[in-house]
Structure 1
Amino acid sequence: MDQIIGKKYKLKTSDNFDEYLKYIGVGFISRKTANSVSPICVVTQNDDGSYTLAMMTTLRNIYTTFKLDEEFEEERADGTKVKSTIVFEGNKLIQTQIEPNGRKSIHVREFAPKTLTVTSTAEGWNGQCVRVYELVE
């Protein structure tokens, strides 16, 4: 985890994001708002050993605090409360979200020296969303 702590990544490309949001039930206005911003993503480590994943935009900042391998309740940007677990494998943060209806989404955040690639999938959806962020120097 040390290699990703404190590094800032800004969204550069996004593929199938609107389709993913539509599939998981995010409303039209929330989808349009989410598609209109280029978030900056940063992971920090807290004094208690937990981590915070921050998604910062000009409209809103979203902070997700978690401990690796421990389930926690998360409120998505659309207000839906989900159960999440995040594990770290190699250079990847892998997040599993389970919605109240039982549907599961997986978000794989793969960190490379200059990029962060986030691939999102959802049970029952035959697509995938890929968002690429570039390191902010």
Structure 2
Amino acid sequence: MAVDTVSVDSTVVCLEPKLRAPLRTYIYDHKPIMDEFLGKKYKLKSSENFEEYLKFIGVGLVSRKLATTVSPVCVLTKNDDGSYNLAMTTTVRNMILTFTLGEEFSEERPDGTKVQSLMIWKGTELIQTQTKKSGRKSTHIRKFSPTTLTVTTTADGWNGTCVRVYELID
């Protein structure tokens, strides 16, 4: 079976022929840009539409209220095996996502929902797609800069956009 590919900014996405949906993503030449942000700590400074997003994806009232009162610190690190850790630490809970770029992995969100996730790196963005068993997707675009990390979140069926801005603290 022939597989079509699309190339954008040194990212090659192989598409499943009938569905034209990503089958596998390969990342090239991401190290020089991505490595610049490894180990840097970014702390949440502002948040827009976060509670609305949490409500849309079904997070309960108490958990939503708690989530909106904490200021997470986000750190991206690289492991010896080439995988990455994305750590989100708060005074209430710490979460670490371990992933390999372009490889789907199972994840349990803070609300307990199990999803399949895929992380790709494009330019200065770490793009995460979470897919629930129902097929509904959320997309989190983490745009890194030397002084800020901006996370833009959208979801299938939701007309809003959540934007959370983190500032460099380390």
Q: TM-score, normalised by structure 2?
A: 0.80
Would you say how many aligned residue pairs link Structure 1 and Structure 2? 137
Consecutive unaligned residues in structure 2, runs of 5 or more: 1-33
Residue matched to 1:35: 68
- Distance in 2 separating the partners of 1:115 and 1:25: 29
Residue matched to 1:93: 126
Out of 31, 38, 44, the position equivalent to 1:11 is: 44
Aligned-residue Cα RMSD (Å) equals 0.6
Structure with more relative contact order (C-alpha pairs < 8 Å, separation 6 or more):
1
Identical-residue share of aligned pairs (%):
66
Residue matched to 1:83: 116
Q: 2:80 is aligned with what amino acid?
A: D
- Distance in 2 separating the partners of 1:6 and 1:126: 34
- Distance in 1 separating the partners of 2:104 and 2:136: 16
Consecutive unaligned residues in structure 1, runs of 5 or more: none
Do the aligned residues in 1 keep the contact of 2:37 with 2:146 (CA within 8 Å)?
A: no
Runs of 4+ in 1 over 2 A off after TM superposition: none
- Distance in 1 separating the partners of 2:145 and 2:38: 13
Deviation of 1:47 (Å): 1.0
- Distance in 2 separating the partners of 1:61 and 1:48: 23
Deviation of 1:113 (Å): 1.2
Residue matched to 2:82: 49
- CA radius of gyration, larger in: 2
